[in-house]
Homo-oligomer: A and B are copies of this chain.
């Protein structure tokens, strides 16, 4: 993309309503614009990040055996009356009356609708297990939306729902999703740690939040430093799930509300880490709560009907954009993890109009095949450096007239600030990995 023609409206003034770094940086770097309180339009740079996250989430869901569907945003109120949640949900649910005076709502989550789709189609235990997910916009009418896309009203969520024949199957589904989540966050370049969460009336230990560590996080968290060394991608897609689960849950990790000082004391002192964290995912086993309430049953091997066991598994896709920035930025701007960066590199032409600079930049740009943002504007070098740092591309390929004449470029790594003079080919080889 040529920056001179790109719709990337950076701004200099920090909007006063933006209280946290990710909100400020997303507005300043032209990733999003607010269109109503807690509702955002995604501009080209922000959309590319959102799509990268979506793609990685999707790949790991598919690899774990979940199947993608797409449920609509607008749901009928009747389904929620069946489950009993229509009255419980309160003012966060955006309620709508259509032209025929039917009660509808903008889905804040999809347990009821997926259970209804399952009920219409699945008749036998032989069709289980099934795990269905979608990546769709949701709406929660937050009373005080804030922190940009981190606590917006319209937000993109991946939500998966598993159906199993028995408790053992549901546990397997839960553990498979937990592993898929850890793989997902690792691939996104984020340090995420699973923490035991409330199970409410369901009980048991099958509810985990996934917390990304970031100094501005909303919760205080305590965890064992040994989490930092785990490589979730090492075992491929088919590791021993029981072993994985036992291993992960043997390490201490808790939010403030669940913090257990006695257990904490058992963690070797050198391993105790405290910090702040942002919730980016939640997985939850809820057994037959919805299948019973909505009267869903399938035939078992003995011909008897039974209620399948369910779990639900959410990832805040749009929230992750903000969380990634909270976890990785400095005073100059965003520092994108490679996997989700909108572009692998910015190409900075320090002397627009200079034939050698222009020619070399065009050659680099063509070689990067859409993965570079080419700063071809007629601005001063300082403006280009600042904007590239602000937008946070992992690499900057800097092309000046002296270097271009000598067949050299400067390659800068955003995360470390390291710079090196290289041939264009060597720079490309590094950037394209």
Contacts and interface: CB of A to CB of B under 8 A. Distances in A.
Contacts of A92: 99
Interface string A39-83: 111111001001000000000000001011111111110000000
Given A36-B104, A117-B41, A121-B7, A141 B99 contact: yes
A98 interface: yes
A137 interface: yes
A154 interface: yes
A35 B71 contact: yes
Nearest to A139: B74
Interface string A91-116: 11010101100101010000001001
A35 B102 CA distance: 13
Interface in A102-159: 102, 104, 106, 113, 116-117, 120-122, 130, 132, 137, 139, 141, 143, 153-154
**Dominant SS at the A interface?**
mixed
A35 B98 contact: no
A293 interface: no
Contacts of A154: 72-74
A306 to B, nearest CB: 20
B69 A141 contact: no
A121 B9 contact: yes
A122 to B, nearest CB: 8
Contact of A74 (B39, B76, B98): B39
Contact of A35 (B41, B43, B76): B76
Contacts of A73: 73, 137, 154
A6 interface: yes
A20 to B, nearest CB: 21
B36 A75 contact: yes
Interface residues of A, number: 51
A65 B5 CA distance: 9
A172 interface: no
Given A33-B120, A99-B91, A99-B141, A40 B7 contact: no
A72 B41 contact: yes
A118 to B, nearest CB: 9
27 contacts: A1-B67, A7-B69, A7-B132, A9-B120, A9-B122, A30-B121, A33-B120, A35-B76, A36-B76, A39-B74, A41-B69, A41-B71, A42-B70, A42-B71, A43-B69, A43-B117, A44-B67, A44-B68, A44-B69, A47-B69, A47-B70, A73-B73, A74-B94, A74-B153, A94-B96, A96-B106, A106-B106
- The 6 A-B pairs of least Cβ separation, nearest first, read A9-B121, A42-B70, A36-B76, A91-B99, A41-B71, A72-B154
